[in-house]
Structure 1
Amino acid sequence: MYAYCQRVRRTLAEVLSDFSSARIPLDYLLDLVPELRPRQFSIASAAQEGRVYQVAGDVKTWWGFFFFVGFLSSKNIHSHISLLNHFIPTTHETPPGDKICHVKIARGTMRPPSSPTTPLIMIGPGTGVAPMRGILESRIHEGATDNVLFFGCRYRDKDYLYADEWAARTAEGCLTVFTAFSRDQDHKVYVQDRILENAVLVWRLIDERGAVVLLCGTSTKMPEQVAYALKRVFMIEGGLDAAEAEQYYAGMEKSGRMQTETWS
């Protein structure tokens, strides 16, 4: 059930194609099919820019029934294209200016430091970096310089979002960037590894200067592993035991100094 349905996000149309002997009346089928739910995406721009920027991965995958039953048939191979990305004019055939959906702007969940002198640690692997860009632009506009970004993706050449902007901000002295390109070497490296490698800096900013930590990205293993890495920093650099590190982390969450925004 998991391998055939959930793991590959198989659609109802694909199931009916695989099991062509099934004959479901149209009116009953329409009762079964749920409406598409609205999708929320973080805005990757600051208010003063005057434009709304969106960060999305251009995803197209192919899935087949062959791994399940042991044979390969062309009618059992399906293409999945991301719902949002299919309508992006820069990558597909939707002409600029076409109306594609209803859009509304909602208040985000993340609250950066109210003072520009309070350090900010941003952890945004992949498209999770989207809100970080807008927050950073607002912070720089307010004169903040103590900004640290941990960015992770698979390949530097393919997936390093806003690389030129981060380099420019670093040259201006208002951003420090630590990158983790997981597939560019013979061993995988993730943002949680970079956090541990820079434990001294992370602990100093959090404990001595009251830094706020923002984490955004997929809700698979990453948030849990980042939380574990931060607790390890508390133990290694702060001399806390495991229970104290848990309590320290919980206190940051309660006070809003550790904020997490993830999606599945």
Structure 2
Amino acid sequence: MGSLSNHAILLLSCPDRKGIVASISQFIYEHNGNIVHADQYTDTEKGQFFMRIEWELDDFDLERKEIPEAFSPLAQQFQMKWMLCFTDYVPNVAIFVSKAPHCLYEILLRHSSGEILANIKLIISNHPDLRPVAETFGIPFYFFPITPETKSDIEKQELAVLKKHHIDLIILARYMQILTSEFIAHYPNRIINIHHSFLPAFVGSRPYHQARERGVKIIGATSHYVTPELDAGPIIEQDVIRVSHRDSVEDLIRKGRDIEKLVLARAIKLHLENRILVYENKTIIFDT
């Protein structure tokens, strides 16, 4: 893994008004902090302000546990919704898979090279097929076969395993099961899925077959947070690739796999680096 910086990150949203940036900057300055990154966006239609600001903690005169209380009066003044993160905290991650290996391999290889900074604690699957991959990378593998009759009980067992390992983020790397709303409620905006379609087009199963029948000239992939409404959660990342009438469904699937694994990897990295704010089923991405 790469080296970890000793920085704090503040993600916030609030009604737009004058003085927000100045007040936050002044707060950091007064406590001897040095700002290293700052990005902001204003939704003029909604009158809403969004910001991500990062500063060094080496000379900051507040202990980490003291920052929330010290910042609260300012947050209340501007009616902020806010989250404080630290760059040297490495999140615990669980990966859910079925049979397709391409997204799993992409994540594990990027993790091995230090590009994805996370503690991959375990891999959960409803099939045993990818156990050898998990063993190759030295990651515990849990096999939970699921039927409609056992789904509720199996999800309870999965949640117990996730709690035991203090999981912060769940990645659905082509996990071909629909999670229940009860399961999702335990990890709001902390379950990332890859959908093999450029949503909102061709939702549900067999999107490449749908695309072939429609004669599309581009196909794509979408990574999004999981919500109870199928394939309708806040979109994090998307990309496309050109196709033609000469491409068979098998060609579309092959090309689609390439784009799926890249889009999912980008979305994971954005989340782990605390660059995403969710607002009204949309995301604000601070990627600069």
TM-score (norm. length: structure 1): 0.24
TM-score by length of 2: 0.23
- Higher-helix-fraction structure: 1
Between Structure 1 and Structure 2, whose CA radius of gyration is higher?
1
Give the structure with the larger strand fraction. 2
